[in-house]
């Protein structure tokens, strides 16, 4: 999830066992340790644009790395800032480990995918129940955590932790409702889907993007789940057919290998861009939940050498009219 959400969840978990005199320190240690796993974004390469996809949410997010991450954070914070404070290294380690441990778990609620069990497997855990950025999750939590610090009130902190669990449960309930409606929609169209995917749209649990898969196509729709359920029809797009779309591609080339790396990252939801003939897109992500105008993809070059990598491309439209349209879809 976004850094603020990660930090606040780390803070609220670290608050739970904290003694009164350590309350502020525990909150800060939990907050910053909750951010630490995302330092893996520094792993990147100007030569290989997909390297960051492989390493983001990998070893730093694994459950097996939690003790190591806790030790690194505790060593950094204690010896740089806390040696003269009324807290021991052991206590610092405890609060840092609690904060660090929340990060990979929280990321698993999103659709991006987290390698929770690396190095045993590179499977990306993605429960698809909370958006990567969700103000309705983060804002109340932030307010409660700050109030708990100001008043040093454990009851407020318990309320903040309860909000995390309640909102997460609500996300699972909404996801099940969206998947059920998507399956019904597919059957009403005479389709027998092999798989149904539902994920929340940007910043809310009301409007969902659904993708059901048939033999050769992805069918994309939006479903609004409030007091009245509503299907917002979308579109369909063919699955990626490499031989048909890129007959010139050498299967032993680096570009072909990069396609398979991108396929792993996107969990197989690949298609040819309807707007760019050499662009492969991740169908799961679009600004509007009922279209296939993908937020990112990879661009192939027919003139590339055998060792050349693909180009990573983005399609992020941060215009006010985009957000207004999305809000209208949520509220209508």
Between the two ends of the chain, the Cα-to-Cα distance in Å is 27
Cα–Cα distance, 179 to 209 (Å, whole number): 10
Q: Are 129 and 174 in contact (CB under 8 A)?
A: yes
Exposure of 268 in the CB half-sphere (CA atoms within 13 A): 9
Residue 323 pLDDT class (50, 70, 90 cuts): confident
Q: Is the pLDDT of residue 247 over 70?
A: yes
- Cα gap 163→191, rounded to integer Å: 39
Beta bridge pairs of residue 281: 271, 297
Residues 6+ apart with CB under 8 A from 287: 202, 293, 295, 316, 317, 322, 326
Yes or no: say if 56 and 44 are a contact pair by the CB < 8 Å rule.
no
Distance CA 249, CA 130 (A): 38
Order of strands across the sheet that contains 279-282: 270-272, 279-282, 296-299, 311-314
Domain ranges (residues) in the chain: 3-127, 173-237, 238-323
Q: Where residue 316 falls among pLDDT bands split at 50, 70, 90?
A: confident
Report d(CA 10, CA 66) in Å as an integer.
13
Q: What pLDDT is attached to residue 125?
A: 97
**How far apart, in Å, are the Cα atoms of 94 and each of 32, 141, 228?**
14, 22, 46
Handedness of CA 174, 180, 182, 184 (dihedral sign): negative
- The 10 Å CB-count burial string (b at 16+, else e) for 25-64 is bbbbbbbbbbbbbbebeeeeeeebbbeebebbbbbbbbee
The SS3 assignment for 194 reads coil
Overall pTM > 0.85 = yes
Confidence of residue 318 (pLDDT cuts 50, 70, 90): low
Contacts of 308 (CB under 8 A, 6+ apart): 253, 254, 255, 301
Percent of the chain scoring above 90 in pLDDT: 92
**Residue-averaged pLDDT of the chain:** 96
Length of the chain: 332
- Give the C-alpha separation, 293 to 275, whole Å: 9
For 92-122, the pLDDT digits (tens) are 999 999 999 999 999 999 999 999 999 999 9
pLDDT range class, residue 24, cuts 50, 70, 90: very high
* pLDDT mean over 50-64: 97
Residue 150: per-residue pLDDT: 94
pLDDT of 87 reads 96
Mean pLDDT of 54-70: 97
Q: What are phi and psi of 2, to 5 degrees?
A: -70, 160
Per residue in 183-241, pLDDT (tens digit) is: 999 999 999 999 999 999 999 999 999 999 999 999 999 999 998 899 999 999 999 99
């Amino acid at each position: 999830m976004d850094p603020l959400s990660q930090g606040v969840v780390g803070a609220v978990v670290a608050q739970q066992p904290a003694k009164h005199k350590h309350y502020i320190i525990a909150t800060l240690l939990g907050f910053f340790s909750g951010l630490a796993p995302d330092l893996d974004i520094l792993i990147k390469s100007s030569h290989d644009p997909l390297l960051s996809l492989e390493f983001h949410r990998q070893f730093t997010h694994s459950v097996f790395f939690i003790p190591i991450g806790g030790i690194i954070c505790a060593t950094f914070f204690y010896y740089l800032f806390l040696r003269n404070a009324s807290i021991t290294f052991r206590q610092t380690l405890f609060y840092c480990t609690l904060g660090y441990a929340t990060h990979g778990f929280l990321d698993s609620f999103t659709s991006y995918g987290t390698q929770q069990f690396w190095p045993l497997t590179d499977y990306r855990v993605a429960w698809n129940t909370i958006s990567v950025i969700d103000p309705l999750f983060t804002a109340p939590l932030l307010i409660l955590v700050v109030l708990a610090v100001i008043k040093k009130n454990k009851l407020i902190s318990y309320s903040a932790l309860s909000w995390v669990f309640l909102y997460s449960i609500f996300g699972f309930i909404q996801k099940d409702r969206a998947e059920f409606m998507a399956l019904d929609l597919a059957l009403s169209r005479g389709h027998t889907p092999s798989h149904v995917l539902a994920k929340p749209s940007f910043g809310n649990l009301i409007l969902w993007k659904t993708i059901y898969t048939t033999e050769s196509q992805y069918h994309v729709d939006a479903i609004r789940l409030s007091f009245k359920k509503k299907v917002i029809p979308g579109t369909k797009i063919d699955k990626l057919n490499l031989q048909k779309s890129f007959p010139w591609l050498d299967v032993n080339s680096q570009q072909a290998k990069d396609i398979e790396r991108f396929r792993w990252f996107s969990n197989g939801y690949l298609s040819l861009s309807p707007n760019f003939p050499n662009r492969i897109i991740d169908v799961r992500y679009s600004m509007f939940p009922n279209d296939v105008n993908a937020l990112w993809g990879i661009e192939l070059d027919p003139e590339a050498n055998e060792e050349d990598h693909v180009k990573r491309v983005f399609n992020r439209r941060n215009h006010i009219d985009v957000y207004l349209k999305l809000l209208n879809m949520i509220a209508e």
